[in-house]
Amino acid sequence: MGYAIAFDVAFLRRDCKALGLAFSPRTSDVREIYAARMQRRHPEVTPDLKFEAICQAARVTPMGRHDALGDAVTTALLWIALGLGKP
């Protein structure tokens, strides 16, 4: 679970491949889920998918932006605020 995780997954996949390790994680991307939800609800509007914009829409205060722990905690709070369940 994360925000815009394709970039991170690509790095991990490349490094695992170099080590001869299989890497096929199940992922859930808050940005993709939010985009799909907004497209269903408001197909005429292009949603703002920036991290801060999604936080504002979900009424979540970002913690320590561009800090690994802060981004992880904020993403978990987004997950909960968007009604996606426990992180």
For 63-75, the pLDDT digits (tens) are 987 888 999 999 9
Q: Is the dihedral of CA 35, 36, 37, 43 positive or negative?
A: positive
Q: What is the structure's pLDDT at 86?
A: 54
Q: Mean pLDDT, the chain, as a whole number?
A: 92
Q: What is the structure's pLDDT at 87?
A: 47
> pTM of the prediction?
0.84
DSSP codes, 29-66: BHHHHHHHHHHHH-TTS----SHHHHHHHHT----STT
